[in-house]
Amino acid sequence: MSQKRYILVIDSRKCINCKACIVACRAENRVPLGHSRDRINEERRGSFPVLLATFEPEQCHHCENPSCVRVCPTGASHRRDDGIVLVTDDTCIGCRYCMVSCPYNARFFREDRGVVEKCSLCSHRLDRGELPACVQTCPSKVRACGDIADPESEVSRLLDKREYRVKNPQTGNAPQIYYLL
């Protein structure tokens, strides 16, 4: 079997800012109060009555060339062969270089344990064949998560069919969240 490579595809137009993904993540990953591993960026423009509001879910981009991994002095931040970027609690010393280096502000410092935490793409769920909590719970099914190495996967088909963009490609991080246009 060929090597899997997990990515996220997000159709922000369908996002209604309901926060289900954030709460599902809190429950699944016991995220400490006051923090979250995923977020919804809101943009509001215009003045009454000509108005615009957009919502864009964001979390760790699980970059192919992640700056957080490069700067980590202990190897706690690492990238699995299937593309998922993780932090190993035991070896994280809480220096927070990774937080500074992340172009997506996708990490936070967890005071109670002295470690840095972030979206794991629910690797534990993916490993047992389930979708990440945020993907599963979403009422409007904004996100798709799957194996880009498999041409038959939902994510591959979406990227074949639709235009898309990634955020801040100039960083050289090769981010792996694909936003459909």
**What's the sign of the alpha-carbon dihedral 84, 64, 68, 103?**
negative
Q: Count the site residues for another protein by CB under 8 A.
A: 34
Tokens 């709460």 locate to: 23
Interface with another protein (CB under 8 A), residue from 4, 18, 99, 158: 18
How many Cβ atoms sit within 10 Å of the Cβ of residue 104? 19
> CB-wise, 14 or 79, nearer to another protein?
14
181 belongs to the binding site for another protein (CB under 8 A): no
24 belongs to the binding site for another protein (CB under 8 A): yes
Contact (Cβ atoms closer than 8 angstroms) between residue 57 and residue 12: yes
Burial degree of 20 (CB within 10 A; 0-12, 13-18, 19+): middle
1 belongs to the binding site for another protein (CB under 8 A): no
Q: Of residues 26-65, which lie at the interface with another protein (CB under 8 A)?
A: 26-28, 33-34, 36, 44, 46-49, 51-55
Minimum separation from the CB atom of position 37 to another protein (A): 13
17 belongs to the binding site for another protein (CB under 8 A): yes
**Cα–Cα–Cα angle for 80, 166, 44, nearest 5°?**
125
179 Cβ partners below 8 Å, 6+ apart? Answer: 10, 11, 12, 56, 164, 165, 166, 167
Minimum separation from the CB atom of position 136 to another protein (A): 7
Minimum separation from the CB atom of position 173 to another protein (A): 29
> CB-wise, 114 or 139, nearer to another protein?
139
Q: Of residues 112-141, which lie at the interface with another protein (CB under 8 A)?
A: 133, 136-141
**What's the sign of the alpha-carbon dihedral 148, 150, 155, 160?**
positive
- The Cα 123–Cα 27 span in angstroms is 15
Site residues (CB under 8 A) for another protein?
Answer: 11, 13-14, 16-20, 22-24, 26-28, 33-34, 36, 44, 46-49, 51-55, 133, 136-141
